[in-house]
């Protein structure tokens, strides 16, 4: 935990935050903080800052917090992801937040099993806890927005353009001949679409390309969903000048 991420209900008054959950236990047991120690803190979806330990024991930590005026910029990358197997999605949540994604849309596809959408990994309390874990690891404050869409065609035809009106749209698929290095990004947001491990169907590729997606590939290697996400998000972050 490289950042203590705080929310409004953590504060009592005058910048005093009182923690009694896993964050407090981490500060006490792992960081071994004592009164007077300064810790990195951040406000969820807000600025970074510092918190000075006023009092601490194994149950509770009191921090006097000072935050910066400037809020860090939001990530410029959004992710359209065909719903992976739940056990894969479970371990991806924290990584996606740590890598820097503004919005995550989980969508159905022909090669996605329907029961994937019944999993507890799509319960907000479950995934928000893991997204926050990733933010604290990466010292980020912006919580990704999560949307779940179980019908591919209505999402693409009715929602996609409105949700991402000005984004540069990139469609990752083994059939793509272009590479990420072939694109100029300038200052635009980027929407990255990654399909199921069985790949997008020709129909799905055509639908997405009909709504402005440009096809690209990673070469001859066919990657698992989590590997492709990590590799592509890391590369995009570098090209966009953040990471």
Extents of the domains making up the chain: 4-67, 77-240
Same fold, 4-67 and 77-240: no
DSSP element (H, E) containing 43 = strand 38-43
Q: What is the CATH number of domain 4-67?
A: 2.40.240.20
Residue-level pLDDT at 243: 43
Helices (H) and strands (E) in the chain, counts: 7, 11
Instruction: Name the pTM for this structure.
Output: 0.92
**Which residue has 């590729």 as its token pair?**
205
DSSP element (H, E) containing 230 = helix 225-240
CATH architecture of 77-240: 3-Layer(aba) Sandwich (3.40)
The rounded distance, in Å, linking the Cα atoms of 34 and 14 is 21
**pLDDT averages per 10-residue partition of the chain, 243 residues:** 92 89 95 96 96 95 94 94 97 96 97 96 97 96 97 97 95 89 87 92 96 88 85 90 59
> Which among 156, 178, 188, 183 has a CA at the least distance from the CA of 80?
156
């Amino acid at each position: 935990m490289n950042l203590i991420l705080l929310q409004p209900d953590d504060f009592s008054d005058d910048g005093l935050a009182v923690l009694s959950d896993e964050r407090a236990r981490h500060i006490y047991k792992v960081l071994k903080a004592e009164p007077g120690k300064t810790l990195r803190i951040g406000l969820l979806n807000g600025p970074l800052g510092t918190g000075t330990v006023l009092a601490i024991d194994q149950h509770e930590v009191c921090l006097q917090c000072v935050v910066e005026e400037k809020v860090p910029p939001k990530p410029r990358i959004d992710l359209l992801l065909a719903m992976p197997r739940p056990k894969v999605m479970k371990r991806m949540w924290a990584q996606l937040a740590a890598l820097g994604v503004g919005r995550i849309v989980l969508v159905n596809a022909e090669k996605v099993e329907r029961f994937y959408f019944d999993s507890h990994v799509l319960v907000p309390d479950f995934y928000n806890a893991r997204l926050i874990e990733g933010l604290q690891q990466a010292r980020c404050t912006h919580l990704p927005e999560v949307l779940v869409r179980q019908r591919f065609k209505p999402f693409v035809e009715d929602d996609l353009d409105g949700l991402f009106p000005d984004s540069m749209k990139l469609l990752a698929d083994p059939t793509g001949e272009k590479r990420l290095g072939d694109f100029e990004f300038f200052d635009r947001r980027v929407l990255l679409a990654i399909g199921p491990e069985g790949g997008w169907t020709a129909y799905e590729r055509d639908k997405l390309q009909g709504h402005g997606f440009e096809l690209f590939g990673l070469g001859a290697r066919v990657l698992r969903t989590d590997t492709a996400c990590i590799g592509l998000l890391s590369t995009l972050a570098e090209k966009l000048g953040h990471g």
